[in-house]
Amino acid sequence: AMNSAAGYEAVRLSPHALRNLAPLGHPNFTAGVGLLVLPATLALVFRPSRFTVRAAWCLALVLQAAMLISSGSRGMVLGIGVGGAFALTAFARHRGWSARRFGAAAAGALVLLAVLVLALPRTRAAAMLALQGKGFGAGDEQRAAMLKVGWAMGADHPWLGQGPGMVPLKYPLYRHTVDGGSDTVLQLHSTPLQLWADTGLAGVAAAAVLFFASLALMWRQTADRDDADIAGLAAGAALAGYGAYALTDYQLDVPLIAALVAAQLALLWRVRGERPVRFLPSAGALVAAGILATAVFATARDWPARRLFAEAMTRLETTGDLAEFEEAIEPIVDLAPNPADYLGAAAAVHLRFLYAGDDPGTREQHAASARLYLDRVLEYNPESEFARTNLGWLTLADAPHEAIIHFRRAIRLAPARSDLFIGLGLAHLRLGEIDAAIDAFAIELLRRPAALTSPFWQAETLAPHLAAAVRRACEIAPRLGPEEAMTRTTRLLLWWLGEAPLPMPVAPSTDTPTQNTPGLAVLARAIATPETRRQLLARYLFIRTGRQPDAADLDTLETLLDELRNDWRAWLRHPAGHRPPFLRLFQRERTAHPMLAGNLDLPVPVDANLAEENDLARLFFGALFPPKGLPSDPAVLHYVAERGL
């Protein structure tokens, strides 16, 4: 019913495709919660109780198991395996099982684990790739980049680390040392790695002592066959399983998960029997309280700043009074321990208003205000890629030398970001440095072939340089990436100029995931069934416009595709003017910025440049290439340094 109302497959109902986001909004969090609560529920099932109570716990166990398995997490399987192995071994030791009985139980558990691996699509795909020796997927490449960067961050400050919460701020400084991955990350997807980067050996050692001492305590308790501690056994199994899972993700910044970990530790370390009660705190407790008070004092300064900023944003959205908003920013900057986030947010407000009106004078005022705020951001954080990128665009017209400096630094911090080499090329072009501009344009075309279809190449100042940029890209491609991939890219670029045949894509399948539906619509000519093509086009228009298309929309688009089916270049270059939108002007959004800044009250900023794309062409070109850009980041940065761009 939901899919029918939406007009496209908003929710994929296949049991092999579902990844459960509840209750915390991400499948990995779902898996973490499940691993921490399921052992305790299992213990309650075996606890002597009335039939109705035990039946209720059995139902809860089934629901929790469904929640855990539906997360689809590969790390979850590792957690189940390690936690189950620890619990089975400890339980067998406590009960005094024979080796034969224990071996039979272990074999059965391994069979169940293998069934689980094969039943889940992501773990099955990973297992098949490993068996076939085909390497890793895009997500694994991202994690490999995080591993290298996290190790380097800790190695630079081995004793105390970079400091808690510094990973999103410091990651861009190391980004150029790895190939691929995000510009920056909120966390490193590994708890030991995160502790190493944040707190160094001190934090890793403290966490290791607590973790292994807790498991050792539970292991000693299992030797006492007269004192069955089922709660302690469940807590130990939960910690062992979650400890293995924590190798694949960092979740201690999620309050619920941190509380569940603390609860398991409390169950293990609880006082058993009667003990004298201390009315005066011990020296150790006083020291711990002092450390906690210091940490609270150091972090609490940001609380009033966040509250004031949220109030200022609410008033701005209600009244639209920018002057009042700017007055409110200054006290916030004085309060905040890291003012760069709030200054960047103030700049983002002006960038969002930059193209909102038609008055050139108002645009100039917004650009000047954004520029002032971004300059102040660099005073606190000279390595802010957001500030560098947008200062590059804002200074391009009147200070191209300065724009080149900003674009160069932004490229080093985020070499894969769209349009940076376009901006660098435009700055060189304004200075009359044609060869350097063509170099920059060529790199952008190799990294993002869809840029070739942008209408801005039709501008008088750029049109003469397109062919030269394509030929330069063909010249340098062998130096920057794998031969097969680079050959495919250069053939596509030459096809656009009419000098080579099109490298045809593989005909798409109608079972492709929903997020690729627009790409399927673009490639609808490859679909043999007219009904399927019309359905895909309807999905494309819904995703593109946000409304269900009527029959006239579909007829117009189908007629256009039929008219142009013999000339794909004409199809992709088709100008705007039809009801189905093809060309669009937009500012690129930084959707992850509030999360990476650690403050969800911050607005989602946009970049200063106004991008112009042929939407159908962009999706068509995107369907021809893997999601990860080529050539490699280190190769690009080496070429940039060599050429002095």
128-175 tens-digit pLDDT: 777 766 555 556 778 888 999 999 999 999 998 988 878 887 888 888
Mean pLDDT of 290-296: 70
From residue 576, give the alpha-carbon distance in Å to each of 97, 473, 537.
76, 29, 18
State whether the Cα torsion 602-604-607-608 is positive or negative: negative
CA separation for the pair 95, 587 (Å, rounded): 65
Does the pTM exceed 0.75?
A: no
Query: 350 and 366 in contact (C-beta within 8 Å)?
Result: yes
Q: Is 231 exposed, middle or buried (0-12, 13-18, 19+ CB in 10 A)?
A: middle
SS3 category, 414: coil
Q: HSE on the CB side for 81, CA within 13 Å?
A: 15
Residue linked to tokens 């189940």: 80
Task: Please give the mean pLDDT across all residues of the chain.
Answer: 79
Paired tokens of 242: 């979650």
With CA atoms as reference, report the closest residue to 336 among 274, 328, 354, 639.
328
pLDDT digits (tens, 9 = 90+) for 70-87: 888 888 999 999 999 988
Q: Supply the Cα-derived Rg of the chain in whole angstroms.
A: 29
Under 8 Å CB-to-CB from 367, ≥6 apart: which residues? 350, 354, 394, 608
pLDDT digits (tens, 9 = 90+) for 628-641: 556 777 788 888 88
CA separation for the pair 552, 233 (Å, rounded): 66
Torsional class of 479: left (φ above 0), alpha (ψ -120 to 50), beta (otherwise) = alpha
pLDDT digits (tens, 9 = 90+) for 204-219: 999 999 888 888 887 7
Q: What is the pLDDT of residue 122?
A: 75
Residue 5 has pLDDT above 50, yes or no: no
Torsional class of 7: left (φ above 0), alpha (ψ -120 to 50), beta (otherwise) = left
What b/e readout covers 414-439, taking b as 16+ CB neighbours within 10 angstroms? bbbbbbbbbbbbbbbbbeebeebbbb
Inside any domain, residue 429: no
Residue 279 has pLDDT above 70, yes or no: no
Least confident of 8-22, 230-244, 317-331, 397-411: 8-22
pLDDT confidence bin for 277, thresholds 50/70/90: very low
CA separation for the pair 247, 244 (Å, rounded): 6
CA separation for the pair 195, 204 (Å, rounded): 6
Query: What H or E segment, with its residue span, contains residue 117?
Result: helix 99-119
Q: What is the pLDDT of residue 204?
A: 92
With CA atoms as reference, report the closest residue to 439 among 398, 483, 475.
475
Structural domain including 534 reads: 518-621
Inside any domain, residue 245: yes
Q: Is 108 exposed, middle or buried (0-12, 13-18, 19+ CB in 10 A)?
A: exposed
Q: Is 602 exposed, middle or buried (0-12, 13-18, 19+ CB in 10 A)?
A: buried
pLDDT confidence bin for 301, thresholds 50/70/90: low
Inside any domain, residue 104: yes
Tell me the one-letter amino acid at 503. P
pLDDT digits (tens, 9 = 90+) for 493-546: 887 787 877 665 433 433 333 344 444 444 444 444 566 667 767 766 665 566
Inside any domain, residue 176: yes
Inside any domain, residue 115: yes
Inside any domain, residue 151: yes
Last residue of a domain, one of 269, 304, 327: 269
More confident residue, 362 or 126: 362
CA separation for the pair 171, 149 (Å, rounded): 7
Residue linked to tokens 């100008």: 575
pLDDT digits (tens, 9 = 90+) for 33-51: 999 999 999 888 888 788 8
Under 8 Å CB-to-CB from 86, ≥6 apart: which residues? 215, 236, 237, 240, 241
pLDDT digits (tens, 9 = 90+) for 99-114: 899 999 999 999 998 8
More confident residue, 275 or 645: 645
Mean pLDDT of 294-312: 77
CA separation for the pair 340, 12 (Å, rounded): 41
With CA atoms as reference, report the closest residue to 388 among 173, 70, 98.
173
Residue linked to tokens 């021809």: 624
For residue 484, the Cα-to-chain-centroid distance in whole angstroms is: 28
Bridge partners (DSSP) of residue 606 are: 589
SS3 category, 602: coil
Query: 2 and 10 in contact (C-beta within 8 Å)?
Result: yes
Beta strands in 75-225 (DSSP E): none
Last residue of a domain, one of 224, 253, 269: 269
Mean pLDDT of 338-365: 88
Query: 621 and 453 in contact (C-beta within 8 Å)?
Result: yes
Q: What is the pLDDT of residue 520?
A: 47
Structural domain count, the chain: 2
Inside any domain, residue 365: no
Name the DSSP class of 614: E
pLDDT confidence bin for 643, thresholds 50/70/90: confident
Phi–psi pair at 185, nearest 5 degrees = -135, 155
CA separation for the pair 606, 310 (Å, rounded): 19
Q: What is the pLDDT of residue 299?
A: 60
Q: What is the pLDDT of residue 85?
A: 92
Residue linked to tokens 């606890």: 47
Paired tokens of 453: 């279809």
Inside any domain, residue 627: no
Residue 571 has pLDDT above 60, yes or no: no
Residue 618 has pLDDT above 80, yes or no: no
The answer, yes or no, to whether the previous bond of 449 is cis (omega within 30 of 0) is no
Query: 349 and 322 in contact (C-beta within 8 Å)?
Result: yes
Q: What is the pLDDT of residue 350?
A: 92
Residue linked to tokens 């520029």: 371
Last residue of a domain, one of 269, 287, 302: 269
CA separation for the pair 603, 587 (Å, rounded): 14
Query: 232 and 175 in contact (C-beta within 8 Å)?
Result: no
CA separation for the pair 175, 148 (Å, rounded): 10
Residue 576 has pLDDT above 50, yes or no: no
Query: 244 and 78 in contact (C-beta within 8 Å)?
Result: yes
Query: 235 and 39 in contact (C-beta within 8 Å)?
Result: yes
Q: Is 448 exposed, middle or buried (0-12, 13-18, 19+ CB in 10 A)?
A: buried
